[in-house]
Structure 1
């Protein structure tokens, strides 16, 4: 199993890295309100035999994404793929993680829109956004992974470097299918295990996360997600670039579930609930140890102190930070939950807490 780095905005490209790009930030903006949806037309990957085309010809349906992380005073840059003319956009969940404000610039009309999070699946690294007020956008076209073969030429398109403007284009070939990798996000050290990935030789860069991987007919066959890390300075031999993409079939299936509003153990729909704590493992003891409290948050109002270990949430046991995150993702802003925590000096305290609205997990 390889180690990768993801492509979040500028998630750096190193052993395997999620490819989003983080940078120093500007003030955050408030996310737009929820909108209701009626019937959702299906978007499917259709069988198309690749035809040779000029790789330099940019394909439609690419969005440059900027995600402001107001709680961290940073921002992330990434890429999205237009699903339909009304402004639904597919991207990686790690691109929008922690975002308190999101903007998307459609590269076909050069217009910038505020965006809201429709939903996301952190386990599959997929998210769906809606560009507020968008209409008539050229949508991307998709093809299933069943049409992909090792050796096929591919083009990766994205917001490399987070500079915006015309999308960058890099080319390569499919080098493997069905790959399982472990990807690390350099911005926060989090790790994701991703299976069934398309491996390519195209040199995907930070900022390309969420962008399209195209076949020679210009159809999207995957969502760019991770890339091999750059070798350390002074390395005797350069490492061949490796990029990894989520197959389009899987991404579209999750996107359709999100647009239907069907939550699950891994899919979160709508606004994200916030308790207002930063937690770490509690060592050999159960619970999630609180290392920081967000000022003005529900956690502060409830009197949860730094150093406490949260041991139950909504009547369910908490044995790790990951468990707490999973339980939080099943909740929504305004929910009232009972929380129990072990005090730093001994004893257990509890309180009923009304969760606030916070950034995506």
Structure 2
């Protein structure tokens, strides 16, 4: 009888402990703010999609193998075929790439394609679909300054580190970045440190809106990400061709500013001054005209007298990066329509886009 009573008391104590524990967890959850619950939920869903990338540059011969240097970065699962998105600079100049999945399994990765001027690289691993958890891609063109964003990556090799911040600014440029990324980067105060590059920048819905790419070493809380819509545009090309479609138009020039226009007596205070048109190029066949008068200023030659581009596909010209961004959206068979100012009148120059021919 006594034994039975003790058993009943133990069972009641255990049940009470469970109830108290559940109540404690419930109370803790209740104390969380709506924003905290959102952050926790986004991390729970997204963390299994984040991969740790280890890279090495190795030199091999018939007699030995020597590892020159290594590095780490981040990436995320793009689809159940095993494709992984990361930043190009993470794998640049490396010939051995390992991907560590969220479950801890290490896999050798193949390089599918690269877009160096966009700092985007696409990898592939052989893994079961059950091990792969693709992240949904959002719309970076709909971002607003002040919007909450979440960065997940492997800074300093610390797997699945989460930082939270906001979109600090849009259409930023960094010194030395290619023209394709000028007036394009997402600035955030979510911490992005060495090793975070290639990881996703997520919105509150858990969608990827950017690929983390850089921070400013001498500043705090100033990080940058590549808009995910750039990746949306080039990934099909990377899968098909290994590189983005970027036709050579065959012309070059300089941006016109009010000070340049005043200095040289140009007829417009803004636009793109066409200074060179290559022979037998699409621009030459379309009738785009370069100048002939060469004036040197601070070791930079300006070729004056050529066409001034004032609009591209009906959109007023704003910066040289605009041409690069239009080309990202282009495909063979489409036309680029340039509105140009020539000898006191406005004319339209149409350049048909042909299949891209690689030049090495």
For normalisation by structure 2, the TM-score amounts to: 0.52
Per-residue CA shift, 1:240-265, capped at 9, x if unaligned? 32110011111122122101226457
Structure 2 CA distance for aligned equivalents of residues 96 and 170 of structure 1? 23
For 1:74, the equivalent position in structure 2 comes to 69
Residues 132 and 159 (structure 1 numbering): CA distance in 2 closer, same or farther, change over 3 Å? same
Per-residue CA shift, 1:150-183, capped at 9, x if unaligned? 00111111010024xx410111110111111126
**Counterpart mapping for 1:272-351 below 5 A:** none
Displacement of 1:133 in angstroms is: 3.8
Structure 2 CA distance for aligned equivalents of residues 220 and 253 of structure 1? 14
Structure 2 CA distance for aligned equivalents of residues 98 and 139 of structure 1? 27
Bigger strand share: 1
Gaps of 5+ in 1: 1-50, 184-190, 231-238, 268-361
For 2:39, the equivalent position in structure 1 comes to 55
The total of aligned residue pairs comes to 199
Gaps of 5+ in 2: 1-33, 60-66, 248-360
Bigger helix share: 2
* 2:82 is aligned with 1:102: no
Structure 2 CA distance for aligned equivalents of residues 178 and 264 of structure 1? 21
**Counterpart mapping for 1:82-101 below 5 A:** 82-101=77-96
For 1:121, the equivalent position in structure 2 comes to 115
Picking from 218, 231, 235, the partner of 2:206 is 218
Picking from 142, 146, 155, the partner of 2:141 is 146
Displacement of 1:85 in angstroms is: 1.2
Picking from 170, 185, 206, the partner of 2:194 is 206
For 2:227, the equivalent position in structure 1 comes to 247
Counterpart contact for 1:143–1:248, Cα < 8 Å: yes
Structure 1 CA distance for aligned equivalents of residues 81 and 245 of structure 2? 28
For normalisation by structure 1, the TM-score amounts to: 0.52
SS at match of 1:84: coil
Counterpart contact for 2:87–2:197, Cα < 8 Å: yes
Counterpart contact for 1:69–1:76, Cα < 8 Å: no
| Structure with more contact order per residue of length (Cα contacts < 8 Å, sep ≥ 6) | 1
Counterpart contact for 1:102–1:116, Cα < 8 Å: yes
Structure 2 CA distance for aligned equivalents of residues 153 and 160 of structure 1? 20
- Computed over aligned residues only, the root mean square deviation of the Cα atoms, in angstroms, reads 2.2
For 1:309, the equivalent position in structure 2 comes to none
